[in-house]
Amino acid sequence: MSEKTPLYNEHVKLGGKIVDFAGWQMPIQYSGIINEHNAVRQAAGLFDVSHMGEFEFSGERALETVNYLTANNAATLVDGQAQYSMLLNERGTVIDDIILYRFSHDNFLMVVNAANAKKDFDWILSQKNTNVSISDKSKDFALIAFQGPKTDAILSKLTDIDLSSIEQFHFKKGSICNESNCIIARTGYTGERGFEIFCSPKSAPKIWQEIIEHGKQEGVLPIGLGARDTLRLEMKYSLYGHELTDQTNPLEAGLSWVVKLDKPCDFIGKDALIKIKAAGMKRKLIGFKMIDRGIPREGCKIFTENKNIGYVTSGTMSPSLKEPIGIGYVEKNFSDINKKFFIDIRGALREAIVVKTPFFQI
C-alpha cells in the first residue's frame, strides 16, 4: 500500500494527477508539465517533497560519523550550513546522493531520496557507529520546495526570517505563516533561486495553502514530479536511479567536486576512488542535444560507426529551450564538446551532439 504525504489532500483538491512514486502517492502534474515548468522559470512553483527521508545524527561523535559515511568534507560546515554529498559503498559507487544540514557539531540532519530511505538507513546502522544516536525522523517532517525568481518577494511576507540573510546552501529556523519551528534552507533542485521548507506534518497544509494564496497573482503554481524532472534535467542535475546508481561512481558522473579525497579522515569508498582516479575514467556523463528529430529516453543506446559507446540516462523535450535534450554515459573518447554520435530511438539512429551544460542558463 502506497503512503501519503501530509499534503496529499491538497494535491487532490488542486486536481493533481496522482501516481505511485517510490511507494508514495504523489502528483505527477496539475495544470500540465510545460505550464508548471514555465511557472518555475518565470515566477515560482511549490513542490511537495515530503516523501524524502530525514535522518538525525546527534552525540559527541556526530560529526566524525557523518564525515566517515559521506564523501564530501562535513568538517568544513558551520552551524546553519548545508552540503551536497554522497553515501558510497566500499567499491566507490553510489548508494545515494544526499544533503547534510549542520545544526551544531553534535547535531546533523541528512536528507535522502525517498526510494532509498529504508536502504540508506539500514546501511548507515550497519556501520560501526559509537557514541552517536541515529534516528529516522522522516515522519516528523513535511518538506516543501518553493522555487523560482519570485520566491523571495512572496515568502518574505509570510515569515519572520530575514530571507536576504540566508546564503546559498545555508538555512535558518523561524516561523512561516505563524507556524513555529520551521527551517528555511536556500537549497533546491531546479537551478532557480528558492527555498526548501521543513515543517511539522500538521503545519504543512496551512503553509502550502497560504503560499499558493499569496502567490497566486504573481503566477505561483503547484508543481508535480513531471516538471520537477524537466527542470533538473535542464540543469544536468543527476537523479538517483538514472545518472547515479550503485554501478556508477561520482568521478565518472562529473561530481568529483563532491568527493574530498584529501580530507584528513577516512571515508567509505575512499580507497576505491583513489584507485579509480589513478586508473583513469573509462566513461563520462555528458549532456547532448538532438540534431535529428526524436526525443531521447532513458535506456536508449548511443552509437558511433556501428559501435555501442554508451546509453542515455535521462532525456526530454526541454520546455525552456523547445528542443530535445539528454544526459548519458559515453566512452571517454567520445565525451568532448561538439562530438557527434547517434542514438537509437525506437529502432532509428538519430544524430546528436555533445554540448556544454547546464543546458539552460539562469
Give me the CATH number covering residue 317. 2.40.30.110
N-terminal to C-terminal alpha carbon distance within the chain: 40
Q: What is the CATH number of the domain that holds 65?
A: 3.30.70.1400
With 90 as the cut, is the pLDDT of residue 128 above it?
A: no
- The single-letter DSSP state of residue 23 is T
Q: What's the pLDDT tens digit per position in 55-99? A: 999 999 999 999 999 999 999 999 999 999 999 999 999 999 999
Q: Cα 82 to chain center, whole Å? A: 13
- What is the reported pLDDT for 309? 98
Phi, psi dihedral angles at 12 (to 5 degrees): -65, -45
Assess whether 59 and 40 both reside in one domain: no
Confidence (pLDDT) at 130? 82
Cα gap 256→269, rounded to integer Å: 13
The domain of 120 spans 53-138
Element (H, E) at 283: strand 283-290
Q: What is the number of domains present in the chain?
A: 3
Residues 117 and 162 in one domain: no
Does 32 lie in the same domain as 91? no
Look over the chain and give the mean of its residue pLDDT values, rounded to a whole number: 98
My answer on whether 113 and 29 are in the same domain is: no
Q: Is the pLDDT of residue 129 over 80?
A: no
Do residues 33 and 113 share a domain?
Answer: no
C-alpha distances in angstroms, 215 versus 21, 94, 329?
A: 27, 38, 40
Q: How confident is the model at residue 222 (pLDDT cuts 50, 70, 90)?
A: very high
Distance CA 255, CA 136 (A): 27
Q: Are residues 112 and 67 in the same domain?
A: yes
Residue 344 lies inside a defined structural domain of this protein: yes
Alpha carbon distances (Å) from 300 to 135, 213, 313, 322, 332: 40, 42, 8, 21, 18
pLDDT class for 306, splitting at 50, 70, 90?
Answer: confident
Domain for residue 268, yes or no? Answer: no
Q: Is the confidence at residue 275, as pLDDT, over 90?
A: yes
pLDDT tens sequence across 146-196? 999 999 999 999 999 999 999 999 999 999 999 999 999 999 999 999 999
Last residue of some domain: 197, 212, 234? 234
Average pLDDT over residues 207-230: 98
Examine the fold and report which residue of 201, 219, 234 is the final residue of a domain before the chain moves on: 234
Q: What is the reported pLDDT for 305?
A: 86
Q: Are 200 and 188 within 8 A, CB to CB? A: no
- Predicted pLDDT at 1: 72
- Give the end of a domain, one of 234, 268, 292: 234
- State the Cα–Cα distance between residues 67 and 52, nearest whole angstrom: 21
Mean pLDDT of 119-130: 92
pTM listed for this prediction: 0.96
Report if residue 10 sits inside a domain: yes
User: Which amino acid, one-letter code, is at 126?
Assistant: S
Residues 177 and 223 in one domain: yes
